[in-house]
């Protein structure tokens, strides 16, 4: 059991943190974001803060499926629902990596421009091929916004990406706030909890037992 001033409620505090951070970042970047788009990105960050949602797990390790494979799955999908699911995953992963992990891409053969192009195309296709149902029409507005201003939203995510002290650690994915959160959730390390608190995570007064 940890002391209350170093405890995080990941379900409520993290989502609120991301929404507030995104709202501030859009204002600082002079980007007028629709509220439903802002909440889409909030939920995206909140979901992918858990590594089991972001990575695809093999028996011995976690891995990230190449964007081209998501596209191939979409092309070969047997249903419209399945096709849209793969395209949305492609767009979401591309947005997340472009905005949060851009420094790490400098060390990879495929750069951030590739991720941005693939993500923009996926969201655009989702917007253009939405059915007439109210749900997909609402989604189409969000996807259209993300596609048309993909670079701007990537810049917003980049501006809230945490940086480690000294600057040199920012190129290491393991130092990213999202990875720290996942490690804290797995290990319950009170030192990590305090580091996250100092990084600006809104803390809960609830106590958590492990």
Q: Smallest Cα–Cα separation from 46: which of 71, 81, 21, 83? A: 21
More confident residue, 173 or 129: 129
- The mean per-residue pLDDT over the stretch 196-209 comes to 47
- b/e string for 100-116 if b means 16 or more Cβ within 10 A? bbbbbbeeeeeebebbb
The model's pTM = 0.72
Q: Give the contacts of 29 (CB within 8 A, at least 6 positions apart).
A: 152, 155, 156, 159
Sign of the CA dihedral running 77, 92, 54, 138: negative
pLDDT, averaged across the chain = 78
Look at residue 179 in the predicted model and tell me its pLDDT. Answer: 61
How big is the CA angle at 121 (ends 163 and 132), to the nearest 5 degrees? 115
- Give the model's confidence band at 209: pLDDT under 50 very low, under 70 low, under 90 confident, else very high: very low
Q: Are 90 and 65 in contact (CB under 8 A)?
A: no
181 pLDDT exceeds 80?
A: no
So what's the pLDDT on residue 184?
Answer: 63
Give the pLDDT confidence of 13-69 residue by residue, as tens digits: 778 888 999 999 999 999 998 999 999 999 999 888 777 777 776 555 556 788 999
- Determine how many CB atoms are found less than 10 A away from the CB of residue 26: 21
What is the predicted pLDDT for the residue at 82? 97
Q: What is the pLDDT of residues 117-159, one digit of tens each?
A: 999 999 999 999 999 999 999 999 999 999 999 999 999 999 8
Q: What is the three-class DSSP state of 54? A: helix
């Amino acid at each position: 059991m940890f002391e209350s001033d170093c405890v995080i409620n990941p379900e409520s505090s993290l989502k609120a943190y991301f929404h507030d951070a995104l709202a501030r970042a859009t204002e600082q970047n002079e980007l007028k974001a629709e509220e439903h788009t802002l909440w889409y990105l909030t939920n995206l960050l909140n979901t992918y803060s858990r590594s089991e949602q972001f990575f695809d797990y093999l028996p011995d390790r976690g891995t990230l499926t190449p964007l081209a494979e998501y596209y191939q799955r979409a092309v070969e999908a047997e249903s419209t629902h399945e096709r849209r699911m793969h395209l949305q995953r492609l767009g979401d992963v591309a947005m997340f990596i472009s905005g949060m992990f851009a420094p790490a891409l400098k060390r990879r053969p495929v750069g951030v421009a590739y991720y941005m192009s693939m993500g923009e195309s996926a969201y655009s296709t989702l917007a253009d091929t939405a059915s007439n149902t109210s749900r997909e029409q609402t989604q189409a507005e969000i996807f259209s916004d993300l596609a048309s201003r993909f670079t701007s939203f990537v810049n917003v995510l980049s501006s809230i990406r945490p940086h480690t002290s000294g600057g040199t650690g920012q190129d290491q994915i393991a130092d990213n706030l999202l990875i720290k959160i996942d490690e804290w959730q797995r290990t319950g390390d009170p030192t990590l909890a305090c580091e996250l608190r100092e990084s600006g995570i809104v803390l809960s007064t609830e106590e958590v037992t492990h």
